[in-house]
Amino acid sequence: MGCSGGMQSATLTRPGLDWRAWGVLVAVSTARFAFGYQLQTVASLRPDLAQAFGLDFAGLGSLVGAYMLPGIAAALLLGFAAQRFGDRAVLACGFLLMTLGSLGAGAADSFAALAASRALAGTGAVALTVLQSKVLADRFAGGLFMIALGVMLGLFPIGIGTGQLAHAPVAAAFGWHAAFLAGAAPAALSLVLLLVSWRDSASAPPRSMSWPSRDECKQVILAGLVWTFYTGGFITFLTYTPSLLAEYGEPRWVTNLVMNLATWGNLPAILFGGAVAAKFGNHRVFIVGMVLAVACVAAMPLLDWPLLLGAVYGTIGAMHGTVIVGTGTLSARPQYRAVGMALFYTVYYVGSSVFPAICGRAADLAGDPAGAFYCGAALSAFAFPAWWLHRRRAARLAAA
């Protein structure tokens, strides 16, 4: 009932679609860009932060995880807050926290202050991740929903790629604090865009404090596991590729090009994946994309083909992102999607808060960044059984 009801809602039209709907899309997409830009800062500035605070790979992973850690406690609370007080209020508070967190990181003079500022910005990012696909589903339907979802999801890796290009030059010119401060600008812009363009959708469900059904909860949790394992591998690739290539003596331009290939190709790839899924089905797109994603992470320390692996991972290996999030979004009925996606992202945040540190510990034990890649590939492969279970349950619920 839960899954089928959610899927049926995707075929409904959204009357009164106007510039404000597109404005909300731009605001949320800009915040996704800010999310990626802020998240990548630690990985890009590892040499500077290691010198400033004496960080090893596990410490680096802990700072990355500090951005994700608040989601464990905050996702469900923010999901219920959105159902009770409205999406606009929660999103606006989230974008404000992302801005303040970046400003705090730019002013930090200790590891504890930097970690706390990262956690503050990460709490704001929780509000974004919980509501991003829900507010789009309230305003777009069918093909338009998949296009809007693809654009929004694609801006996250674009933010990461932009950070990879900009963080080191900014730090070299103005100090590492300035690289963190720069992350406040897109977050503040997203807040302004949201306040200017927001209007409650006519199809938005009434506010409530109710839980989704048990079946819906199970489905969104399974979809959240799929997303966690997929994105965990992606973050591992982006976090440890600079260290791996430096260890193997690759010049800086090769590292930059690999990172850009792995990120900038995501936007067209995700849009392409949504279009292909409409013709050939979600399952086929997921299997092809996920196989290549795991293979690219595992092969990075084994094969001397960094440019090819970065290109494949950033395109075909990323095309199933819209499929995963779209499946999670539509696994609950519209009136329960805020809490449903809160469950989805609670699972994601639990995994993402420990994923980088686990892979970092594997690198420390191996004495080489390669250990992080082998660990990340092994963990990412768990996306396959989670996807299979979700698909099996969806078929059983549809038959019932």
**pLDDT for res 208:** 60
Cβ-proximal residues to 232 (8 Å cutoff; 6+ apart), any chain: 351, 352, 355, 376, 379, 380
**DSSP 8-state class, residue 301:** T
**pLDDT for res 10:** 38
**pLDDT for res 5:** 39
For the stretch 118-168, pLDDT in tens is: 999 999 998 998 898 889 988 887 778 888 888 888 888 889 888 878 888
Backbone angles phi, psi at 265, to 5 degrees: -75, -10
The number of folded domains in the chain is 1
- Identify the residue whose tokens are 């730019």: 106
220: pLDDT strictly greater than 50? yes
- Distance (Å, rounded) from C-alpha 180 to C-alpha 199? 32
- Lowest model confidence (mean pLDDT) among 15-19, 22-26, 199-203, 278-282: 15-19
Contact 348, 71 (CB under 8 A): yes
- Lowest model confidence (mean pLDDT) among 11-20, 88-97, 296-305: 11-20
**pLDDT for res 9:** 38
| Strand ranges for 222-379 from DSSP E | none
Put simply, whether the predicted model's pTM sits higher than 0.85 gets the answer no
Backbone angles phi, psi at 205, to 5 degrees: -70, 160
For the stretch 49-66, pLDDT in tens is: 877 777 777 777 777 778
Average pLDDT over residues 173-189: 92
For the stretch 78-89, pLDDT in tens is: 888 888 888 899
**pLDDT for res 94:** 95
First to last CA, the chain: 8
**Token output for 236:** 């591992």
For the stretch 355-369, pLDDT in tens is: 877 888 888 888 888
Contact 382, 294 (CB under 8 A): no
Helix (H, G, I), strand (E, B) or coil at 173: helix
Average pLDDT over residues 223-246: 89
Domain that residue 373 falls in: 2-399
Average pLDDT, the chain: 85
* Nearest one of 319, 320, 301, 305 to 366, comparing CA atoms: 301
CATH number at residue 377: 1.20.1250.20
Task: Pick the more confident residue, 205 or 31.
Answer: 31
Contact 293, 232 (CB under 8 A): no
- Lowest model confidence (mean pLDDT) among 100-104, 105-109, 210-214, 340-344: 210-214
- Distance (Å, rounded) from C-alpha 7 to C-alpha 197? 28
Inter-axis angle of helices 19-44 and 214-247, nearest 10: 40
- Distance (Å, rounded) from C-alpha 13 to C-alpha 381? 37
> pLDDT band at 3, cuts 50/70/90?
very low
**DSSP 8-state class, residue 333:** -
11: pLDDT strictly greater than 50? no
